[in-house]
Amino acid sequence: MFQYLLLISNALEWNIPILMTSIFILISYILLVKQTTELTIMHKQPLLFLLSLALLVLIVGSPLAAIAHLSFSLHMIQMSILFFIIPPLLLLGIPKPIYQLLSKVILIRPFLLVKPLASLIIFAFMFFVYHLPLVLNLLSNHLGIHRMYFLLLFILAFRMWWPIISPFQKQTIYSEPKKRFAFLSGLLLLPACSVFILNALMDGTNNPFLAQFMTELCLPSHSSSHTLFPPLFNPRLDQLMAGILMLGIHKFSLNVALHLGERS
């Protein structure tokens, strides 16, 4: 087990393009905040934006992105943070004057034409399909398609969160439209989270990303997280925990986003 862990730790690297892109976004954000607002880096909105960028680099651009493939539960934590925590934090961290500037950018205008409800429905469908064993196996063998799939989900997630945290809506304590949209979000995403729970209650399925990851490290393709971490990763328990963690993180993020959105 320790030999496997040593080999994995030596093979993991930071994703330089994501790291450099995040640095560029951070510098641009700081300059825009200074030019358009009276906020300092220690105000709540800049801190939320910095936190969202730090989380993005940590779970997508750092070695932790590869470690997430070791189990379903770790992979679902990664996805939950990427789609349920980072988008609302980042949107909450953008002041109104910057939103008004961004709305005039030609590349962003087509994205704004997509209705939040449509984004939610498309996201929920793609998120559900992603968790089907057949699709998981397909994406694990085509990493380019897998990255594009993740990118599209990530883009849709921003529009999906907009009705809950929009600074342009009338701010009332947990207004009815916000609560209805949050409830609908939880309802539509429930099937995707339930797939893992149902699989765990039946026979369970293998983790195709783990097999691909082990192959890239020149380890036996039949190696498993159960082999690496025997006390922690029973395959069926792993899938059960993946579904429960996704449900819990999504519910937690909805409550926090509603609370922060009212106070933004």
- Which tens digit of pLDDT belongs to each residue from 38-64? 888 888 899 999 999 999 999 988 877
Structural contact between residues 149 and 166, judged by C-beta atoms closer than 8 angstroms? no
Structural contact between residues 127 and 146, judged by C-beta atoms closer than 8 angstroms? no
Structural contact between residues 60 and 18, judged by C-beta atoms closer than 8 angstroms? yes
- Give me the pLDDT at residue 208, please: 57
The residue with greater pLDDT, 71 or 9, is: 71
Structural contact between residues 130 and 197, judged by C-beta atoms closer than 8 angstroms? no
DSSP 232: T
Instruction: Give the confidence band of 195 by pLDDT, cuts at 50, 70, 90.
Output: confident
- Give me the pLDDT at residue 200, please: 67
pTM for this model (two decimals): 0.83
Q: pLDDT digits over 111-130, tens only? A: 777 889 999 999 999 999 98
